[in-house]
Structures are given as C-alpha cells and as structure tokens.
Amino acid sequence: MINFNQPHLTGKEAHYMYEAVYEGKLSGNGKFTKRCQAWFEQRYGFAKTLLTTSGSDALEMCAMLCNLKPGDEVIIPSYTFVSTALAFLREGAKVVFADSMKRNPNLDAQTLEALITPRTRVIVPVHYAGVACEMDAIMAVASKHNLLVVEDAAQAIDSYYTSNIQHKILPLGGIGHLAAFSFHETKNITAGGEGGLLVVNDERFIRRAEIIWEKGTNRAEFFRGEVNKYGWVDMGSSFLPAEINAAFLWAQLENLDDIQAKRKQLWNRYYDNLSKVHASFSLPDIPDYATNNAHMFYLVLPDLEKRTAFIKYLKEHGIGAVFHYLSLHSSEYYRARHDGRQLPECDRYADCLVRLPLFYDLTIEQVDFICDTIRDFFA
C-alpha cells in the first residue's frame, strides 16, 4: 500500500531531542526554540516569529492580536481547514465566507469588495497547496478599507509571491500583518507531529504577541532585562511548545532545501506524466505570480461520482488518494449562521478535488506506478 502521507525523518531528530533533554531545559523558549525562530527571521526576513504548539494555535494568536469586538466580520474562504474559521469565531467574530477562484481553490480576490461592510475588520487568505493567493489585490482592498490581513500559510513554507506593485518577490507569510504556519506531520516539515509558527510582520503587534504567548505576562521582557519584575498584563495562554518539539523541528529546518528539492522532483514527475493523459481532469494551477512549494499534488475531477469511483479504484490498486475540505459554509456547525450565499466554486472543489500521495520517501517508480494506474482508470 502506498499511503497518502508518511512523515520523513532527516536522521538528526532524536539527536537534537536528546540534546534538549540532557541539557535540562525542557520547557519552551529555550535554545532550540530561539534557533528555529532566528532561522525563520533570517531566511525570510520576517520581523518576529514565535513557535507555537500547532498551526491552529498560531491562528488563534493572530485572531487575538486582531483585537476584535463581538459582531466584527472576518472574511475567510469557505474551502479551508476548520481552524482558519474557528480561531476568529472563538474571538466573537462573525465569519463571512468567500468563494474560491475558478482556476484554483484560493480565495477569489475579485469578489472581496462585495463582501466588505462597515463591520469588516480582517481578511484571511489561505495559500492552498502552498500556492500564493492574489496578494497585490488583497492587500490593496485591505488598505483601501483599513483592514488587517492574516495569512493562513499553514501549507506555504518556502513558497513565494511576485508582487507587481512592490516589484519584489515576497515569501508567503511575510506579506500580511500577521501569518500562521503549521508543522503538523502532514505538512512539508514537522515539529514531531504537531507544531506551528506565528509570524508578526507589522511591528506594532510584536510586544502583545510575546505577552499572549507567555500566558498574558511580560515575562519575555523580564528575561531580556527590560523590566525588573514580571506580572499579568493582558490576555494570553500557553501557546509555546516544549523544547523537544523545537529540537525535532530544527533537524527538519536544517534539511529544508533537500526536502523541498525531493518533493519538487516528485511533484514535477506527477505533472509531466499526467499532462500526457488526455482525460477529463485538471492538474494543479500555479499562476505566474506564484511558486510551487510541492506541498500537495491534486487533481480536479468532473464530479463527485467520478471522484468517488477514482478514489475507490486507486485504493483497490494499493494507492491512498484522499479528498480534502468540505465546504465550511454548509457544515453542520455553521450553516445556520451562513448568510445563504451560494459558493459554487468552493462546492466544486469539495466534491471534485482529490489529493495523491506526496511525501519525501515516495520514489519516482511509485509515482510512475500511480500515474499508470490513473491512466488505466480513465482508459
């Protein structure tokens, strides 16, 4: 059986975890946490980063930093993971769901303006499959209406956006005011199963982000010697991971270039093989302004029936292919609160998108086998 996903070990994880344990500093914000954070700040130019216990936690910190009042509205694509919406709902916001684009599952920036009301406070673009949203258009709408932008970059490590307005290539997660990454074991790199990162790009949020991270205290300032005692100054929670998770993540960060090169090689093999299969499915779309970080290889089939048969056929041939999100606007939990707008592109991806196995230890031979099986299904 070729599983859909399999976590990859670089070989140094246990070594660094051992080092963390035997140096006796087990709780968070130690040597490995600082090393990981500095790595992200240097490599991508992020103003400030804080490791978190998950991508969901990083999103919750973003939502807390937005300082929302009950009834404030947040625009979120309906085709995303539950955590994107939950983080803001927990802060009392009203979630306004946006549709996806025709060309790929990302939020359709052209429909944004029509969703904005006097209560709108935040836009949350999700870079699906690590492919950039139309950030120039999104940032322009946000600045016109004085809104915050929180990037859900959970899948978007090491991916970039070419900004025509700024004439620059920008790392995803480094464009909005705040951003969240995930190191869950299904992502390109993992912090030992669960993990995340909060990115603060707008420096106005740095002080409060540290306080929220440190359970509502100004302990970070105390440790830097900036204040002579620390105490309870704001809201917060225990968002920081233990050092063993940061140590695990460090082993993966050290090898990120190798991991990315291998994933891209597999992704390109899928793309080359499957572009030669003439059948009614579409391949992933990477717009000119986006890069491919090989987070995911997906196909979009014509309808739900065909997709169900496709997944079953691959399973019978030992291949673990899986569908992805169900539309959040019609979920059991939210549908009564949704404003009733149809989101047809989101529903189409919910019914028709299928993800193929993609992980570091997959081989080119296995990709060829999967593609041959797909060709047989359509023949």
Ligand X SMILES: *Cc1c(COP(=O)(O)O)cnc(C)c1O
Closest contact distance (angstroms) between CB of 84 and ligand X is 5
- Report the distance separating Cα 72 and Cα 91, nearest Å: 9
* Amino acid residing at 348: R
Helices and strands in the chain, H and E counts:
12, 12
Using the minimum distance from each CB to ligand X, give the nearer residue, 181 or 267.
181
- Report the distance separating Cα 112 and Cα 138, nearest Å: 8
Closest by Cα among 261, 184, 359, 255 to 16: 255
- Residue from 54, 100, 218, 293 touching ligand X (CB under 6 A): that is 54
- Written as six digits, the tokens of 282 are 């579409």
Closest by Cα among 365, 39, 355 to 197: 39
Using the minimum distance from each CB to ligand X, give the nearer residue, 33 or 218.
33
Closest contact distance (angstroms) between CB of 80 and ligand X is 5
Residue 188 found at the interface with ligand X (CB under 6 A): no
Which residue has its beta carbon closest to ligand X? Answer: 55
Interstrand relation of 120-123 and 73-77 (parallel, antiparallel or unpaired): parallel
Closest contact distance (angstroms) between CB of 54 and ligand X is 3
Residue 155 found at the interface with ligand X (CB under 6 A): yes
Using the minimum distance from each CB to ligand X, give the nearer residue, 54 or 217.
54
**Residue 137 vs residues 25, 37, 108: alpha-carbon distances, Å:** 45, 29, 10
- Report the distance separating Cα 92 and Cα 356, nearest Å: 37
Residue 130 found at the interface with ligand X (CB under 6 A): no
- Tokens 């939020």 identify what position? 107
Closest contact distance (angstroms) between CB of 83 and ligand X is 4
Closest contact distance (angstroms) between CB of 235 and ligand X is 20
- Tokens 């955590």 identify what position? 83
- x-marked contacts with ligand X along 190-229 as a string, rule CB under 6 A: ------x---------------------------------
- Written as six digits, the tokens of 233 are 């100054």
DSSP per-residue letters across 78-139? SSS-HHHHHHHHTTTPEEEEEPBPSSSSSB-GGGTGGG--TTEEEE--B-GGGPPP-HHHHH
Interstrand relation of 196-200 and 178-182 (parallel, antiparallel or unpaired): antiparallel
Using the minimum distance from each CB to ligand X, give the nearer residue, 353 or 374.
353
- x-marked contacts with ligand X along 14-53 as a string, rule CB under 6 A: ----------------------------------------
**Residue 329 vs residues 126, 210, 347: alpha-carbon distances, Å:** 16, 33, 10
- x-marked contacts with ligand X along 60-99 as a string, rule CB under 6 A: --------------------xx-xx---------------
- Residue from 2, 112, 122, 126 touching ligand X (CB under 6 A): that is 126
How many residues of this chain bind ligand X (CB under 6 A)? 14
Of 147-155, 237-245, 304-312, 370-378: span binding ligand X (CB under 6 A): 147-155
Residue 182 found at the interface with ligand X (CB under 6 A): yes
Residue 151 found at the interface with ligand X (CB under 6 A): no
Secondary structure of residue 307 in the 3-state scheme: helix
Closest contact distance (angstroms) between CB of 175 and ligand X is 16
Closest contact distance (angstroms) between CB of 196 and ligand X is 5
List contacts with ligand X (CB under 6 A): 54-56, 80-81, 83-84, 126, 152, 154-155, 182, 184, 196
